Structure 1
Amino acid sequence: MKQEMITFLSTLKDEIFELTKYLYNNPEESFHEYKAYNYISSLLNKYNFEVTPSYLGIPTSFYAQYGKGHPKVCFICEYDALKEKGHVYGYNAKTAISIASALALSKVIPKLGGSAIVIGCPGEILSGSKVAMTEQGTFEDIDAVLMVQPHTITAESGSSMAIVPLQIKYTDNSYNNNTSTGKYSALDACLFTFDALNVIAKGFENNCFIGDINVNSITDSFPESVEAKFSIKTSSTKIADEIENKIESFIKLTCSLLNVSSELHLYSMPCKELITNPTISRLFSHNLKESGIINISGIKNIFSSLNLGNVSHVVPCIHPYVSIVNDNSIAYGTEKFAAATVTEFASDAIMKAAQALSCTAFDIIDKQSLIADAKTELSRLQTSTLQIR
């Protein structure tokens, strides 16, 4: 059956290349990916996937399924781009890999059993939609989530950063009264807090930062209130939560010392670190070599967030990297990289990655003990994460 799937995949090369080029030629901003949404949905409909449009009320999201019951293997599509620069992150090629993999798997589902799931996740460059989907239980009925990131290197799936985005508002309790001489302002409280934030972070790990600081514009020398946003970035949600608790304690002390009031809350959804599943990662690396991509670097950890991180705390996930460039001077995240996604070299890499991904999905369904092993590993890794520090 696996050979049947691979043979069918070879017949899809032109169609998948057209998908990659269409997305490249029609870049759309986050949550406005209407052309991409329509193109991808039509393609899945053509191959008899049951497509749920505007999934969870998000206009450019979809949930597509081929087959019934478990195991359910899910492929993720991301298809937004930067307004001025286009697909500098290669999400057009990422979507092409996922769609090709799902179509190949669907060819053998009637004999193999299980289900091929494709979820369209708009807005990845901004806040993303996978975090909200996770909160609403989308992935609780899924057995594995597989996706490949086109890149300038080929590497195994690693980890990402956990991020907690916070907003603080300080208000001066004595503003507009007649005893303002010598008083502290809301701005004093804000500056005092930011002086302390990095000191607090130093008490944890080297890969811990307070970043994305943005203080609202000040209209006078002693404003009544000041709002500021910042993010806690660290290797695990556990550490981020500990830092947040210390920040809350410090803010309470600041309010007492400087006679101000405060409000602290999230300004967007937190992003958890990516937990890569070792069993599925090893399986994919094996299948990638079988597809003809031999040179695989070690594990690639990134120092930014991935919305897939939240998903990976619910269901076994992988997020490996496959090079789509044959020019070492091309940097990821550039317009040259975007242009590279529609070369013949990239097309070949996309199809090889899709073969490896679909074969990995096949193995998961065919040998259901792998699912049990992957879920056991996830539980162990979650426990290990909770025991940090």
Structure 2
Amino acid sequence: MSTTLADGVRDAAGRATDTILRLSHDLHAHPEIAWEEVRSCARVAGDLADAGFAIEENYAGLPTAFAARRGSGPLHLAVCAEYDALPGLGHACGHNVIAAISTGAALALAPYVDDLGITLSVLGTPAEEGGGGKIEMLDRGGFGGVHAAAMVHPGPVDVARAEPYAVSHSHIRYDGKAAHAAAYPDRGVNAADAFTVAQVAIGLLRQQLPHGVRVHGIMTSGGEAPNAIPQRTEGRWYVRAGSLAELDGLEQRVNRCFEAGAWATGCELTITPESKPYAEFRNDDALLDLYVRRAEERGRRFSTGADSLMNRASTDMGNVSQRIAAIHPYIGIDSLPAVNHQPEFAAAAVTAAADRAVVDGAAALALTLLDAATDTGTRRRLIDPEGGPS
């Protein structure tokens, strides 16, 4: 690989520093939840448009998705930018950092796409937090022609290998019948009781679940007044397992707990998927090795201890990895004792340590894709995974 090209990418990454740090802080200050990321989508796409990327809005028919492209080479590399926030918690998973890293990597590689013989895409991917935006994009052809996709996710510490759970997301609703809770309780059908029965059943089921399975959720609506039998209750529940195959059977067992609540109380039960299930992740080990080397050159150190468990969090990038080569390493923002999905982590996502993660992550990711494009074996494998004539 040309040292001159690597030095050029490093220099371009350095020149992009102010742009991507402003982007990270601006997204953080204006959080938008899944499928509502209108401003965030436009903000990320705008920085790329200013750098000469061709922008396709409403990408794959999704209003808060975009594709930004440079080059027309035979090897098509994509970086994914997430920018949705969590309801009530803002950027407590640090997606502002993700978007800034992916943008920075693209800005660093952009001057060299012709030299490298690549098509470079930044895919703005909405609704990772439970909405399955990447799955919708996959199903609509949004990753068509892409040979490899990559992104870097913040966590408390650096972790190289993504090992997320497969997960299903369900909306639960019980419909009963309202009545005066003191005068006519016998004329009511208590939807809150149905949820209580279901949660007790799930709690008992956990003893019989395989190690590592996760079942958790919240009630989002539990009644209107204490003197009225609740007519309707609603909630959101996740079931996580090691693979989609394992998840399928486990989800049926959990759903029977919700059915028990309906049978016990006489309520009607409606279970509605909130998205298609997220798959387990398939790491491209060769690409991941390239990233680790480039990150360590930046002084990053990878953890395998108890604080490194963010790599088990579910992601719709898992579905992407089942179809094309992909990596999803984690970069630390020195947030401990705060961890992802805590308000304190949201605060940590715009600290000096988070800014350093943005800069390091962008450079390391850009150099990883540079290495993939210039290594003959890796390039050939990505373009033709089946090993046909090059």
TM-score (norm 2): 0.77
Which letter maps to 1:297?
S
> Residue in 1 aligned with 2:360?
352
> Residue in 1 aligned with 2:278?
271
> Residue in 2 aligned with 1:240?
247
- Aligned counterpart for 1:129 among listed residues 130, 133, 156: 133
User: How is 1:138-217 mapped onto 2 (pairs within 5 angstroms)?
Assistant: 138-170=142-174, 189-214=194-219, 216-217=221-222
Q: CA deviation at 1:89?
A: 3.5
Which letter maps to 2:350?
A
Q: Deviations over 1:296-325 (max 9, x none)?
A: 223844353223222222222211122344
Give the Cα–Cα distance (whole angstroms) in 2 for the partners of residues 146 and 181 of structure 1: 58
Tell whether the 8 Å contact from 2:13 to 2:105 is kept in structure 1 after alignment. Answer: no
Q: Residues 82 and 283 of structure 1: is their aligned pair in 2 closer, same or farther, counting only changes over 3 Å?
A: same
Q: CA deviation at 1:52?
A: 0.5
User: How is 1:272-311 mapped onto 2 (pairs within 5 angstroms)?
Assistant: 272-289=279-296, 291-293=297-299, 295-298=301-304, 300-302=308-310, 303-311=312-320
Q: CA deviation at 1:53?
A: 1.6
Tell whether the 8 Å contact from 2:197 to 2:260 is kept in structure 1 after alignment. Answer: no
Tell whether the 8 Å contact from 2:78 to 2:148 is kept in structure 1 after alignment. Answer: yes
Q: CA deviation at 1:5?
A: 4.2
> Residue in 2 aligned with 1:28?
30
- Aligned counterpart for 2:350 among listed residues 309, 326, 339: 339
Helix, strand or coil: the match of 2:160? Answer: strand
Give the Cα–Cα distance (whole angstroms) in 1 for the partners of residues 381 and 207 of structure 2: 37
Q: Residues 376 and 216 of structure 1: is their aligned pair in 2 closer, same or farther, counting only changes over 3 Å?
A: farther
User: How is 1:12-23 mapped onto 2 (pairs within 5 angstroms)?
Assistant: 12-23=13-24
Helix, strand or coil: the match of 2:16? Answer: helix
> Residue in 2 aligned with 1:361?
369
Which letter maps to 1:77?
A
Q: Deviations over 1:212-238 (max 9, x none)?
A: 131643467766665554221233222
Q: Residues 48 and 254 of structure 1: is their aligned pair in 2 closer, same or farther, counting only changes over 3 Å?
A: closer
In the alignment, is residue 9 of structure 1 matched against residue 15 of structure 2?
no
Q: Residues 252 and 88 of structure 1: is their aligned pair in 2 closer, same or farther, counting only changes over 3 Å?
A: closer
Give the Cα–Cα distance (whole angstroms) in 2 for the partners of residues 329 and 203 of structure 1: 32
Tell whether the 8 Å contact from 1:280 to 1:318 is kept in structure 2 after alignment. Answer: yes
Q: Deviations over 1:46-95 (max 9, x none)?
A: 33322102323434321011122532111111234468876444333322
> Residue in 1 aligned with 2:182?
none
Q: Residues 221 and 268 of structure 1: is their aligned pair in 2 closer, same or farther, counting only changes over 3 Å?
A: farther
Q: CA deviation at 1:119?
A: 0.8
Alignment coverage as a number of residue pairs: 368
Which letter maps to 2:30?
E
> Residue in 2 aligned with 1:387?
none
User: How is 1:213-224 mapped onto 2 (pairs within 5 angstroms)?
Assistant: 213-214=218-219, 216-218=221-223
* Higher mean displacement: 74-83 or 358-367: 74-83
In the alignment, is residue 317 of structure 1 matched against residue 326 of structure 2?
yes
Q: Residues 163 and 371 of structure 1: is their aligned pair in 2 closer, same or farther, counting only changes over 3 Å?
A: farther
Tell whether the 8 Å contact from 2:69 to 2:122 is kept in structure 1 after alignment. Answer: yes
Q: Residues 21 and 46 of structure 1: is their aligned pair in 2 closer, same or farther, counting only changes over 3 Å?
A: closer
Q: CA deviation at 1:241?
A: 1.0
Q: CA deviation at 1:211?
A: 1.1
Which letter maps to 2:349?
A
Tell whether the 8 Å contact from 1:162 to 1:235 is kept in structure 2 after alignment. Answer: yes
Give the aligned CA root-mean-square deviation in angstroms.
3.9
Tell whether the 8 Å contact from 1:277 to 1:374 is kept in structure 2 after alignment. Answer: no
Give the Cα–Cα distance (whole angstroms) in 2 for the partners of residues 354 and 286 of structure 1: 14
Q: Residues 202 and 272 of structure 1: is their aligned pair in 2 closer, same or farther, counting only changes over 3 Å?
A: farther
> Residue in 1 aligned with 2:83?
79
Helix, strand or coil: the match of 1:212? Answer: strand
Helix, strand or coil: the match of 1:29? Answer: coil
Helix, strand or coil: the match of 1:63? Answer: strand
Helix, strand or coil: the match of 1:306? Answer: coil
Which letter maps to 1:29?
P
Give the Cα–Cα distance (whole angstroms) in 2 for the partners of residues 222 and 33 of structure 1: 38
> Could you tell me the percent identity over the aligned residues?
21
